[in-house]
Chains A and B, each alone.
Chain A
Amino acid sequence: MRDVSIIGIGQTAVTEHWNRSLRHLAYDAVAAAMRDANIERADALYVGNMLSGEISGQSHLGTLIADFAGLRGIEAVKVEAACASAAAAFRQAYIGVASGLQDIVIAVGVEKMTDDVGTQLSAGLAGAADADYEVIHGITFVALNALIMKRYMHEYNVAREDFAGFAINAHANGAGNPNAMFQKPISREDFARCGIVSDPVGLLDASPMADGAAAVILCPTEQAREFTDNAIRIKASALATDALSVHDRRDPMWLQAAEDSAQRAYKQAGVGPDDIDFFELHDAFTIMAALSLEASGFAQRGRGTWLAIDGEIGPEGRIPISTRGGLKARGHPVGATGLYQIVEAAQQLRGEAGDNQIKNATLGMTQNIGGSGATIVTHIFERVNQ
């Protein structure tokens, strides 16, 4: 296995790109990453995307993006794992380089969600759950998270207000990220008073969905210096699965796939949670932030919200999360989100995170969740030079 580094990053703003379609968005991010890495060609392209078939009527996305980006002829394929598609695509790119089969590889996550904001989008998103045993009962993605959150509050005697810190921290950080969908802080009162979507999930517990694309370029670490002085090493890459349905999990209050992928990642990197300087977690809903912190070893079972209450997740806290706004404020272009997290982690480690810069950040972790916890991808990154 070869050591692998990120040598280029690119992203579009997360917003409604009404004049840009899937292929344009993906191209924007890929072109920016290729410029950043000073490369003109690559050996392969992995495209993370969930909904191109459902929303845009477009399958065969790997080839479309390769052709449109001026890369006709290279190996290209779409990788789909619901909301974890982009980190899963990144991992395929990593495996390609680490194995020695490919040298320069592009991973891009892209999602076009605003071409349909109604029932088609909600049906597409529900496709992450079990069609025969969950979706047929009229379940929505929000409702699945509401079922988990309500039981969690019941079992651990937690109030909805206890989750406020996750949303407040994300919005405060989003204010420092020019690519974030929401760049305005929110208050505790805003959180308490917001409309309830699916009890107990309120509008400010849930992340907003929009269009976006983010991309990175990978190459063997030993070649990275030819391209950049700013390479970021991939210290660990792990993907784990759990039962697709919430009702089939051994313990619906525990993200087993988060524990499994995080433990594998810690082992590969030879580190533990105490060594991680910041954590881009998958705060699609506030409950997911709490469960992710617990299963990844940052909080005890049932105590994920305590970190938010105690201010430990802020930029100066013990484990800063959602440092550029997270899904909650940067936005959640589902099949692209995992690569936004990775691009943001690279920005932090390069010292390019602007107002959001975490001081002396050396080790960063990202975690991308597909469905309500069924596919979870964890990566650990390290600053190489400086």
Chain B
Amino acid sequence: MATEIARHWRLNSQRYRLVGEVCPKCGVKMFPPRDVCTDCLDDSRQPDFEFSGHGEVYSFTTVHNAPEGYQESAPYTVALIKLEEGPLLTAQLTDVENSEVEIGMPVEMVTRKLRTQGEEGVIIYGYKFRPRLPVAH
């Protein structure tokens, strides 16, 4: 169990703050972070880059037959999100009905419970996306 927790702990800065990397050579921004740049294959140590958490829905669907650990939240909507800095990522949508979702809809990152794991009921938190709220002026 301890190693299972470590596996998730290692990913905390990605799950809570969308920390990816920016390539020092070609400038491409990557999420998830990688050891080798996807574009120029540079493998020098890449500085962290915290994504804004803003993006739009690239595609979405509803999961009815949820895998183990996710059943309590089924049915739920999973989506591919196009981040405004470029990369796509996979995440659940939250605070919205599936019927209200559209491709191109602006969304923002929030932190939510992803799943409950094991007999001890360890809760794993991470990013989900919700419709972007109007900004007050």
Contacts and interface: CB of A to CB of B under 8 A. Distances in A.
Interface of A: 119-120, 122-123, 126, 132-140, 142-143, 146-148, 150-151, 154, 197-201, 245-248, 252
Nearest to A147: B59
B5 interface: no
Contacts of B73: 138
A147 B78 contact: yes
B90 A247 contact: yes
B61 interface: yes
Contacts of A199: 61-62, 98
A246 B67 CA distance: 19
B63 A140 contact: yes
Q: Which 6 A-B pairs have the closest CB atoms?
A: A146-B61, A151-B59, A119-B68, A247-B88, A138-B70, A147-B59
A136 B78 CA distance: 11
Given A151-B103, A197-B65, A137 B114 contact: yes
B36 interface: no
Contacts, number: 92
Given A148-B59, A197-B65, A252-B58, 8 more contacts: A120-B68, A132-B32, A137-B126, A138-B114, A138-B115, A140-B67, A143-B63, A246-B90
Interface of B: 11, 32, 38, 58-68, 70, 73, 76, 78-80, 87-92, 98, 103, 114-115, 124, 126
Nearest to A148: B59
Chain B interface, >50% SS class? strand
Given A132-B11, A246-B80, A247-B88, A151 B64 contact: no
Contact of A138 (B58, B59, B60, B76): B76
B58 A198 contact: no
Contact of A252 (B62, B88, B91, B98): B88
B7 to A, nearest CB: 8
Contacts of B60: 147, 150
B63 A138 contact: yes
B80 A197 contact: no
A136 B61 contact: no
A149 to B, nearest CB: 8
Contacts of A123: 67-68
A139 B91 CA distance: 8
Contacts of B61: 143, 146-147, 150, 198-201
Contacts of A154: 59, 103
A137 B67 contact: no
15 contacts: A133-B89, A137-B78, A137-B91, A138-B73, A138-B78, A139-B78, A140-B63, A140-B67, A147-B59, A147-B60, A151-B103, A246-B80, A247-B87, A248-B38, A252-B80
Given A137-B92, A138-B70, A198 B103 contact: no
Contacts of A245: 90
A133 B18 CA distance: 12
Given A133-B32, A197-B65, A138 B80 contact: no
Interface centre among B62, B65, B90 (most CB of A within 10 A): B90
